Amino acid sequence: MTVTPAPIYVAFDTETWRIAPGRLAPPPVCLSYEKSNGERGLYSADAGASNLAHWLRSPHHILVGHNIAFDFGVMVAYRPQLLELVFDAYAQGRVRDTSLREKLIRLASGEMSSDFGSGRITSFSMQSIYKFRFNEDLSEDKKNPDAWRLRYHELRDVPIQEWPEAASSYALEDATRTLRLFFAQGQDNSVVVDNATSNVTNEQEQVAAAWSLHLSGIWGIRTDGVAVAALAKRLDDEALGLEAKVREAGVFRKDGTKDMGRIRSLVEEALGAAAPRTATGAISTDRECLLRTGNPALEALADLGGIEKLRKTYLPVLVQGTEVPINPAWNTLVESGRTSCREPNLQNLPRKGGVRECFVPRKGFIFSAADYSTLELCTLAQVCLDLFGWSSMADALHAGQDLHLRMAAAILGITYDEANARKKTPEVKEMRQLAKAANFGYPGGLGAASFSSFAHASYGVTVTEEQSRSLKDQWLAAWPEMRLFFDHVGGQLAMRDSFDLVQPRSGRIRGGVGYCDGCNSHFQGLAADGAKAAMFFLQQESYTGYSELWPREVCDKPSPLYGCRLVAFIHDEFVVEVPEDLELARAATDRLLTVMVQGMAIYVPDVPIKAEPTLMARWYKEAGPVYDEQGKLLVWQPSEKKD
């Protein structure tokens, strides 16, 4: 009889040189660890790399860390031969992250966006979680400017046995705290915690996504100095012109500050009783309100605010990218199940202003961008299949139909085939845009007024509240399963203000959701789960050449993605640096599309998934696929816009 050894949990932490621009994986100075069997120690960087390799190879060792992707990134940058071992450990489900565990636990209790009942924004730092769980304040270490956590580079060449006691104990305590926290979480009274195994539902999928995103952050993205300088000059010129218009209206005081009383007076003069008001009852002066007034000076003021945001938020980091890679900070999990990004937010770059076009691939590469086609409608169709056993939306997708065109046909009262034959006519194009707003707006439970605002802001479509109600009736007739879907979500709220949503297929729990959140999370969270799965395979093949989808045992050469690098992930789109050699770029792009489809199929197995590719020399918002006469993908040029 074979006895399977009990798992050994190894909590480890690295102390490093300080993070700097372009250096998100600084050199390690030491590695501290503590095991569940009581063993504890502190290694030099070299010894730490050797022991980490041993733990990674052992199927009985489970690696635990707080933001463990950072520590893996540090060690992999120091010893690249660890890279494949790290990916294998993730693929085998042998990695745990106490920060993400806490997020999942708090998400299930509905407390992810408030600081454990205090109402403040949650921090999932070790300091914050330790204070909550053990009532121990670690802030003194953070406040001390002479703390060793900021000075380990001073010990780079000093043997560990000669270190000051304070430096050794600080490093060791990090590993001890991590293991203590891990086991406390494993015994938490939460619906997502299995007390017998210390596992947290959906943790392994999220930690794999965190590693994938962190690798992208380490690699970073570059910018073009000429484009950045041109953007800066254009913003300066535009600001001067706008400031002149604003000054003429007397909106600025002599000292250059805004006269808010004058601004509110002009808003009230333009909008009268319809002028929006803030929570305190004052007339609103936000950008949307200023643009609604039709007053040239106020419109200029709104545009000026947008330019100032570009100057302050984006220009400094764009300049940095001309010298060293920009390393954005990725957040693996927000309440909806999606990711987020900051410094800069690559997932929500300004539509106008030329910011996006400043981002360029490294020398010898071009960008391959691939996005899923109507992804959240595909996941919505999968949700309905799972809940009700049927979906007209799924049927249309299986028939190869364009869901927006099908809805446009319903609005026009014509057949799908007729709409398809006339799809380039102004009438059908206009109705398809309206249909797009309906298909993406109504599933989230928007009411008539909210939909009118959404349609105008997102798709430039003007719809009155009355028209919105009529359009929704047509939409429900086109996709009749949605009545059942809304009844299903509404039924969870019977006699209560919120409910706990069990995320389809992944089992992740989001507590305390209301109607719109409950509608959105079903399909938005499913799309996020599938995209994260695809991203892990993409990164594994890019960095090691192989994955579960391209196994070493079967494939006689590395994946075409090997050597490519993911630089941005935008919910349903991947932007990857691929070789500029066109044949290699095409091969990598074909493989990218396959990985995206196969990764998504793990979570969306019953609905056809498609992805559309684009090759481009820099990041263009308007870029689309361009093919030669043989149907081979070409590099998109600015003059070649999609229909």
Q: Are residues 354 and 403 in the same domain?
A: no
Q: Are residues 562 and 624 in the same domain?
A: yes
Predicted pLDDT of residue 304? 82
Q: Are residues 119 and 239 in the same domain?
A: no
Query: Can you tell me the mean pLDDT for 240-244?
Result: 85
Express as a percent the part of the chain with pLDDT over 70: 96
Judge whether residue 399 has pLDDT over 90: yes
Judge whether residue 279 has pLDDT over 90: no
Q: Are residues 365 and 448 in the same domain?
A: no
- How far is residue 26 from each of residues 75, 79, 94, measured CA to CA in Å? 9, 12, 24
Say if 219 falls within a structural domain: no
Residue range of the domain that includes 634: 331-375+502-643
pLDDT digits (tens, 9 = 90+) for 345-374: 999 998 777 899 999 999 999 999 999 999
The CATH number of residue 238's host domain is 1.20.1060
Express as a percent the part of the chain with pLDDT over 90: 75
Judge whether residue 422 has pLDDT over 90: yes
Say if 367 falls within a structural domain: yes
Predicted pLDDT of residue 300? 78
Per the model's pLDDT, the better-predicted residue between 317 and 447 turns out to be 317
Enter the pTM of the model. 0.93
Judge whether residue 221 has pLDDT over 80: yes
Predicted pLDDT of residue 285? 81
Instruction: Look at 150-164, 230-244, 263-277 and tell me which has the smallest mean pLDDT.
Output: 263-277
- How far is residue 15 from each of residues 83, 141, 177, 331, 614, measured CA to CA in Å? 19, 14, 15, 22, 41
Q: Are residues 486 and 399 in the same domain?
A: yes
Q: Are residues 484 and 516 in the same domain?
A: no
The CATH number of residue 588's host domain is 3.30.70.370
User: Residue 312, exposed/middle/buried by CB under 10 A (0-12, 13-18, 19+)?
Assistant: exposed
Out of 481, 501, 521, a domain closes at 501
pLDDT digits (tens, 9 = 90+) for 564-595: 999 999 999 999 999 999 999 999 999 999 99
Q: Are residues 382 and 266 in the same domain?
A: no
Say if 207 falls within a structural domain: no
Predicted pLDDT of residue 143? 63
Q: Are residues 23 and 151 in the same domain?
A: yes
Query: Can you tell me the mean pLDDT for 552-556?
Result: 93
Say if 542 falls within a structural domain: yes
pLDDT bucket at 454, cuts 50 / 70 / 90: confident
Say if 246 falls within a structural domain: yes
pLDDT bucket at 546, cuts 50 / 70 / 90: very high
Predicted pLDDT of residue 254? 76
- Structure token digits, residue 39: 């063993």
Predicted pLDDT of residue 643? 46
The CATH number of residue 139's host domain is 3.30.420.10
pLDDT bucket at 267, cuts 50 / 70 / 90: confident
How many domains does the chain contain in total?
4
Say if 218 falls within a structural domain: no
pLDDT bucket at 521, cuts 50 / 70 / 90: very high
Q: Phi/psi of residue 563, each to 5°?
A: 95, -10
- How far is residue 621 from each of residues 97, 325, 359, measured CA to CA in Å? 35, 21, 11
Predicted pLDDT of residue 302? 81
Q: Are residues 234 and 294 in the same domain?
A: yes
> Using DSSP, how many helices (H) and how many strands (E) does the chain show?
23, 19
Say if 208 falls within a structural domain: no
Q: Which of 349, 287, 339, 340 is nearest to 317 (CA)?
A: 349
Query: Can you tell me the mean pLDDT for 268-292?
Result: 79
Gyration radius from the chain CA atoms: 27
Q: Are residues 194 and 45 in the same domain?
A: yes
Q: What is the DSSP string of 116-178?
A: TTSSSPP--SHHHHHHHHH----HHHHH-TT-GGGTGGGGTTS-GGGS-HHHHHHHHHHHHHH
Q: Are residues 514 and 643 in the same domain?
A: yes
Say if 326 falls within a structural domain: no
In one-letter notation, the amino acid at residue 85 is L
Per the model's pLDDT, the better-predicted residue between 406 and 117 turns out to be 406
Q: Are residues 507 and 581 in the same domain?
A: yes
Judge whether residue 150 has pLDDT over 60: yes
pLDDT digits (tens, 9 = 90+) for 4-59: 778 999 999 999 999 999 999 999 999 999 999 999 999 999 999 999 999 999 99
Instruction: Look at 89-98, 125-134, 422-431, 454-463 and tell me which has the smallest mean pLDDT.
Output: 454-463
Judge whether residue 265 has pLDDT over 60: yes
pLDDT digits (tens, 9 = 90+) for 193-215: 999 999 999 999 999 999 999 99
pLDDT bucket at 456, cuts 50 / 70 / 90: confident
Predicted pLDDT of residue 243? 83
Out of 201, 236, 263, a domain closes at 201
Residue-averaged pLDDT of the chain: 92
Predicted pLDDT of residue 387? 97
